[in-house]
Amino acid sequence: MIQEIKIAGFGGQGVILAGEILGKAATIYDGKFATLTHSYGPEARGGACGAQIIISDEKIAYPYVIRPDILVVMSQEAYEKYVPELKKGGLLILEQELVSPGNNPDIKTFSIPATRMAEELGSRIVLNIVMLGFLTAISRIASYDGMAGAIRETVPKGMEYININAFDKGYQFGLGQVKQAFANGK
C-alpha cells in the first residue's frame, strides 16, 4: 500500500518539520518505507512552503508525490494551489481558521482550529504538531506511538513536553471528529 501525502502552508508554520516527523515515524517506528521532498519560497518566513511524503509497505521507486491521497493545508494559498491535485475520494485536512474551503463532495474534509489550540498551549509555533496529531487520528497514516517517538527525537531538547501536549491535543480533537463522522454515517 502506497500513501502520498502533501503538507502545505507558509514558511514559519513548521511544514518541513512536520514532514520530517511523519517520515521518521513511518520508517523508524512503524517499519515502513518513506520519502520526503520539500519546497519553499525565497522568503524565510511567509513564503509558500510544502512537504511531500510517500509512505509505503514496499520500497519506493519514485520519490515525488504525483496525486496526493492526503492533503494537509495550513494556508488559503496552499489550499487553492494544491486541492485540485487531491485524488477523488482523498482526505483533506485543514486549519479551519486560516482556510476557507470550497464545496467538493468528491473529497473527505476534516478541519481543526490548530493555531488557536497551539496558542492555548502557550506557543503558536506548535501548530504543526497539533496538525500532526489531528492527521494521525483521522488517517491512521502512522501509529500514535511512532509519531510520539518521532516528535521526541526530532524537536529541540527541552521542547519535548509542549510538543507532545500539542500532538495529544490534536489527536484527541481528531478522535472526536472521527466519532462524529461515524455517528453521522460519513
pLDDT at 170: 98
More confident residue, 155 or 104: 155
The one-letter code for the residue type at 103 is N
Q: What are phi and psi of 135, to 5 degrees?
A: -55, -45
Q: Which tens digits make up the pLDDT trace of 62-120?
A: 999 999 999 999 999 999 999 999 999 999 999 999 999 988 888 999 999 999 999 99
The SS3 call for residue 137 is helix
Write down the pTM of the prediction.
0.93
The confidence band for 182, taking pLDDT boundaries of 50, 70 and 90, is confident
Element spanning 119, H or E: helix 114-120
Q: What does pLDDT average to over the chain?
A: 92
More confident residue, 1 or 155: 155
Give the start-end residues of each E strand in the chain: 2-10, 33-40, 48-56, 70-73, 91-95, 108-112
The confidence band for 183, taking pLDDT boundaries of 50, 70 and 90, is confident
How far apart are alpha carbons 130 and 94 in whole angstroms?
11
Q: Report whether 166 contacts 133 (CB < 8 A).
A: yes
pLDDT at 39: 80
The confidence band for 42, taking pLDDT boundaries of 50, 70 and 90, is low
Q: What percent of the chain has pLDDT over 70?
A: 95
pLDDT at 138: 97
pLDDT at 48: 74
Give the chain's domains with CATH numbers: 2-183 (3.40.920.10)
Most confident of 40-44, 52-56, 180-184: 52-56
